[in-house]
Structure 1
Amino acid sequence: MPRLTVKEIKQFLKQSNIDTQMLSNLERDDRKGVQMLVSKYKLNLAQNKKKQSAFNSRLQFEQIFWAQNQLVAGIDEVGRGPLAGPVVAAAVVLDDHFNLLDVHDSKQLSFKKRQTLVPQIKDQVLAYAFGVVSAEQIDELNIYQAAKLAMTQAYQNLDWDVQGLLIDAMELELTIDQTSLIKGDDRSISIGAASILAKDYRDRLMMEYDLIYPGYDFKNNAGYGTAKHLAGLETHGVTPIHRKTFAPVKKHLN
């Protein structure tokens, strides 16, 4: 039987499960191209095992509920720091079929990776929902209370019954069982998935606001106080979506 070409081996190694005997045979192949492919395959295998282990570790809080035949929602919010736009929260319910190893704190993921993960998360979770609290409400309540309200809304908007909540560094005024986790988006897959969906939702909203209120670069800064945003405030003044109680905006009032 003729041996496979390097191109054929490259395609072969894209399979998820490679026969150990076949891999052993390839390791003995004296072609440099084959050795490079085998090395890359083994490196990817080791990285995926490490990623799987980390993923399993970040499911420990969900598994407490699953072991009791219960479901839990992960909740996170984004947008506390910007000078403009709402604070947005997401709630996500998943089960033990969820297998997106790359789900993590949204701040640790590139824009491209988030764009890839968002439809995959929505497809795999049992349910997801959002809570949105406007800049006007933020000014009325303060940003901390507004974040709590957005999280509460996200939970209340879920169309799935859950027996508990996993929340990123927050406790809500609800009677349901809650687990508040410091850096929860880095410690829980549910919260991490919620952080990705919340950020995507808010980023898209700010891109829409960029069309309505040009001159502040909202599509790129998402309302944060970048140089272009501050220059926009200086030139164009305050918009209805600016948080008027935030110091850099307040000085441009009147």
Structure 2
Amino acid sequence: MLSGIGPKEHLESHNIPVVSDLPVGQSLQDHIMVMMAHKMGKSPPPKPVDYSYIGSPLMMGYTSLNKSKNYPDYQSINFIMNDPTPMLQFCSFYFSYIDEICQTLYDKSIGKEVLFSLVILLYPESRGRILLRSADPKEKPIIYNGYYSDPIDLERHAMYVEDFAKIQHTEFFESVNAERVEPEVCGCENKYSTEEYWKCYALCMMVSGYHYSGSAAMGVVVDSRLNVFGVQKLRVADASVMPKITGANTNAATIMIGERAADIIKEDLFLRSRC
């Protein structure tokens, strides 16, 4: 947008000459995650600490509430932790939860094995946007993530978190007296309706999946060969060109966009060299 490619009115409001009037920065998408922790049996004896490595078994699952569907409703990422310190690092530094939440998780996990889980909304309907704060490239942009701006996202995410929480009543979890750790700061214990409780929990424990995409979508900002409409010799090849976020982690899809861009550029150069 600083180069003049973006919504005309927005660019002109910052006295930026318009090169191409396109909806850049609109339709921002991301996967929203809700964190959940279950403390289980007594943790095994600690091993010598290697602060350069955080090792933890990782399990990933995809769940469909309707078993007749051929695609999942939500994804879960699960870590088993024997030491609360790595969980504190995830909570505070990676996900930036408030101190009260992280301290509660740490205090209630001491001496216990903990299943640290993230329940991920794979198909969000909510959209955010990115705006310029000014024409100064040193100023950070204004980012409206738009999480849960479409009420259906909160309804679905609450339902998925409630479904995932049922693991507490499985045979294994009952055998180790598993108990879900709920930070009191969320204030959800006073919600009498099950639906309202899980909505409250989701709002308190939601966090970005860091899968930002869609802000320069194919079809409205770039064409099928990743050329920016109205601009010569300019392509975009990253997650921003996704018209709709993938129903899984965006990493592999983004790599393939880059690979496809390389093929397109080579094809175009080859065709021009033959002319």
Considering the TM-score relative to the shorter chain, is it more than 0.5? no
TM-score norm. by structure 1 comes to 0.29
Could you tell me the TM-score, scaled by structure 2's length?
0.27
